[in-house]
Amino acid sequence: MLQQVNGHGSGSAAHGGESLREDLQEFLGGEAPLQQLDDLTKVNPVTLETVLRCLQAQYMADTFYTNAGCTLVAMNPFKPVPQLYSPELMQEYHAASQPQTLKPHIFTVGEQTYRNVKSLMEPVNQSIVVSGESGAGKTWTSRCLMKFYAVVAASPTSWESHKVAQRIEQRILNSNPVMEAFGNACTLRNNNSSRFGKFIQLQLNGAQQMTGAAVQTYLLEKTRVACQAPSERNFHIFYQIYKGAHAEERVRWCLPEGATFSWLPHPERTLEEDCFEVTREAMLHLGIDAPTQNNIFQALAGLLHLGNTQFADSGNEAQPCPLVDDAQCSVGTSALLLGLPEDHLLETLRIRTIRAGRGRQVFRKPCSQAECDTRRDCLAKLVYARLFDWLVSVINSSICAAPDSWTTFIGLLDVYGFESFPNNSLEQLCINYANEKLQQHFVAHYLRAQQEEYAVEGLEWSFVSYQDNQPCLDLIEGSPVSICSLINEECRLNRPSSAAQLQTRIESALTGRPRLGRDRLSPEPNFIVLHYAGPVRYRTAGLVEKNKDPVPPELTRLLQQSQDPLLKVLFPADPEEKSQEEPSGQNRAPVLTVVSKFKASLEQLLQVLHGTTPHYIRCIKPNSQAQAQIFHREEVLSQLEACGLVETIHISAAGFPIRVSHRNFVERYELLRRLRPATTLRRHGPCPDGGRSERPPCTEPATLQGLLQEILHALPAPLHCGRTKVFMTNSTLELLERARAQVLEQCARHIQRGWRRHRCRTQARRRRAAVLIQAAVRSWLARKHVRRLHAAATVIKRAWREWRIRMAFLASEELDGVEEKHSSQAPCSPSSSPLPLAQTRLQGAITRLWPLGLALANAAVGVHGFQRKLVVFACLQLPVGSPRSCAIQTAQEQAGVLSIRALPQGSIRFHCRKSPLRYADTCPGPSPDSVTGFNQILLERHRPGHV
Ligand code: ADP
Ligand code: MG
């Protein structure tokens, strides 16, 4: 979804994809940043990646609790956060009207369980399953919850009952250091690792006050007493007595300073859990007095000395194994401390007694060196396991209320998480089997919670199909054949069996089972179980022996003969036990194997859990170095897988992992209404109420519902609309996003198209306007020019008219003078008769028009040469064919005003000359002095300096 298809997109494409993802993230996740989300199921979409990112953001922001649906995820801060567990905060959660609205916290879970008990709604009893890997904080969480109940479940009114409750609470809290001292050890993963499972039942009376408690333990890792993995330690209590004993006690327990014990590795490491005084104090409060304590520690010191009892190889089967150098001393001390006769102890460790035959004859057989070691270890494990169980029973008797004094309970299950090591054996098989069972219980509960949410939203549950882990459980515990039944059968047959044989049996009997496999590359016989949290390879070697957990009857008999008061209590001489340990051939009691015992107690536990309302707290260890503020994604991821959170996510994905409120949905997908008109076929899922109601009841405004319905009609994919949310799968979201992108693209195209059209129109309009302006300017300029021309022409015309009038006047004056003189001088003869009338008119016309003609004839452009002459002739109305009667002289090649000389004395004679201005330059002729009359005027006008 929303990923680049080829993964080779350009930088900008990648950037675009990133921004789209962020955009979608914002839409799905709402406005809240990851570190402020109070529920992992609110990360949208619910994927491992988003869940991891959210957890990391929260851890870095010092937020250690968050919800994951019906589970509380608790991250180990690995640093003291006192304000997180203060009594004030406990009171705040207790007093809150709705604790769920406060920040996620274990106190929310505590308060919720407490209120559920108060409400008396079935099932009234509550249980809190605290799981997680070693060092994740399970014991811490359980402890905090106990403190919380001690505060809130105390009676505020009655002083007497308050005192009782306080005493009980104190005892319950005191049981922790004692159980941790005897049941916890420093491992590679956790300095204070609980090596047993525990279910604490906090008992409440009718007024919801704590009146007592009961502890049930599971599968103590007793092998640790005699065998510690490299870099790991024995149970804390051994180090406490070794380091914390007083001088006098050291003498009594034979623990001199600096003594070395093979079962006490790494005594130099000092842990805060090594505080002996705290354990003693707590034991005292639980009613274990000082002599009993002394007795216990003395027995434990005896076990330490027993560990130093080393055997050598006898080299002869008929001879018991000799002891190594200092071992004799160790055996003596051990026997002393355990109240046993030394020689009897030594004999029991080295010689096996076999009863056989009809007469139950006793045969004595010296053991091999390995058998001696096994018997020694077995003795230590037996004593320690019985001591632990006795302690639990003492604690129970101290804190347990009378059966009629309590009515309800809150159970706290501090259970070891799923385990997978390079070498896994029966312990891991049991632990993982228990985790499979609890996971099934959790899944059933989670699915129920989901179902409830869907029901509230009006959806049908049938959409979700989920394959649970039943096939895996069938493989481990099913009938008639399963891994457990095969291992138990091997024990019952009591025959020597090899690891390879067991592997072949498992493979052949369980062939075809989907959850079974084998590591063919491993040289050791093995089988693989595909657990919900991942595959685990189990070695078959030693499996049957561990399951049998054989306790040689001689060892029990020996311990029953102990003079030590504590061992007398731990190993009472019980005739029934005796008959069980030494079964006769015919009526053998069923062999109680480790697996069968574990299975029985697990079923009992699950029965208790089934009768309660479960709550889940998943503890997560952010890093294996126990460092604050360090978050290792890979480690957290494997824990999320192991504690079933990933499974939860998958279940979530099987349903509708994406839930969006109506408002958010409408805001984002409103534009999908454009996609297509409402189809006749309703493609989306049924409306709430199974489609019975026309419109789901909703508190939102009607318009929102209307819009929602419109969108749902137009959608290309089916999706399910609840009362307040829209539910969809990842693929549906993908489809919706694609459709949205399509619509957005369409919109973008529309916008582009509109913009381009707008731009073209604007450009065209501008062009038209420019043309208009240009035309206007040009016309204005033209008009202006014409006006100027016109004004100039008017001026010229006026000047011309003035000039013409003046000329006409001058000419007429001049002509008049000449005429008068001529007529007065000339004799009157017939040949010189007066001009006829026509000639007179011609003369008038010539007198009027000749300047125009001359001007035209002498214009710089237009007619040339002969044409010009013709024009002059025409304007003067001279006969073209009488060249002698008139001679025209023009300066045709030159522009300018010509002077005109007219001497109409009997004959018409015009003398055209160039302007007098240029006269002197161009042609020689009469000097300006000889010019008279009209010529004189012209000359005057063109003379330089004339104004
Ligand atoms: P588990 O029982 O799961 O093996 P623990 O409860 O013993 O783990 O926790 C391991 C260590 O982590 C504790 O000893 C403590 O130092 C630290 N721790 C766990 N939870 C918290 C917490 N809420 N605040 C501070 N430290 C914690
Ligand atoms: Mg623990």
Annotated binding-site residue? 134: yes
192 lines ligand 1 (CB under 6 A): yes
Catalytic residue among 135, 212, 458, 644: 135
**What's the confidence (pLDDT) of residue 540?**
93
pLDDT band at 7 (very low <50, low <70, confident <90, very high): very low
Q: What is the pLDDT of residues 221-248, one digit of tens each?
A: 898 999 998 889 999 999 999 999 999 9
Q: What is the pLDDT of residues 637-672, one digit of tens each?
A: 888 877 777 767 666 656 676 778 888 888 888 888
* Nearest CA-CA partner of 717 in 667, 679, 746: 679
Q: What is the pLDDT of residues 663-708, one digit of tens each?
A: 888 888 888 877 655 443 344 444 443 333 333 444 444 577 777 7
**482 is a catalytic site residue:** no
**190 is a catalytic site residue:** yes
Q: Does the pLDDT value for residue 289 go beyond 90?
A: yes
Please identify, by atom number, the ligand 1 atom nearest to the C-alpha of residue 133: 3
Ion ligand 2, residues whose Cβ is below 5 A away: 138-139, 194
The model carries a pTM of 0.67
- Computed on alpha carbons and rounded to an integer, the radius of gyration of the chain in Å comes to 60
Q: What is the pLDDT of residues 191-213, one digit of tens each?
A: 888 889 899 999 998 888 888 89
Report residue 641 CA to chain centroid gap.
17
Q: Are 710 and 667 in contact (CB under 8 A)?
A: no
CA distance 481 to 487: 10
Q: Does the pLDDT value for residue 868 go beyond 70?
A: no
**194 is a catalytic site residue:** yes
* Nearest CA-CA partner of 941 in 881, 898, 889: 898
- What percent of the chain shows pLDDT beyond 70? 73
In this prediction, residues 588-605 reach a mean pLDDT of 83
Please identify, by atom number, the ligand 1 atom nearest to the C-alpha of residue 417: 3
Q: Does the pLDDT value for residue 859 go beyond 80?
A: no
Minimum mean pLDDT among 7-16, 164-173, 782-791, 850-859: which range? 7-16
pLDDT band at 295 (very low <50, low <70, confident <90, very high): very high
**What's the confidence (pLDDT) of residue 830?**
45
Query: What token pair was written down for 533?
Result: 């949290």
CA-based torsion, 737, 742, 745, 746: positive or negative: negative
**How many angstroms separate the alpha carbon of residue 133 from the centre of ligand 2?**
9
931 or 740: which leads in pLDDT:
740
**596 is a catalytic site residue:** no
Angle at which helices 426-456 and 470-477 cross, to 10°: 150
For residue 130, give Cα distances in angstroms to 143, 169, 428, 632, 637. 11, 20, 18, 22, 18
**882 is a catalytic site residue:** no
357 or 386: which leads in pLDDT:
386
Please count the helices (runs of H) and the strands (runs of E) in the chain.
Answer: 31, 19
81 lines ligand 1 (CB under 6 A): yes
Catalytic residue among 184, 194, 424, 497: 194
**How many angstroms separate the alpha carbon of residue 141 from the centre of ligand 1?**
8
Q: What is the pLDDT of residues 488-531, one digit of tens each?
A: 998 888 777 788 889 999 999 998 898 999 998 888 999 999 99
Q: Does the pLDDT value for residue 922 go beyond 50?
A: no
Query: Which residue type does 156 have?
Result: P
In this prediction, residues 731-753 reach a mean pLDDT of 86
Q: What are phi and psi of 180, to 5 degrees?
A: -70, -35
Annotated binding-site residue? 611: no
DSSP 680: S
Q: What is the pLDDT of residues 884-900, one digit of tens each?
A: 445 555 444 444 444 44
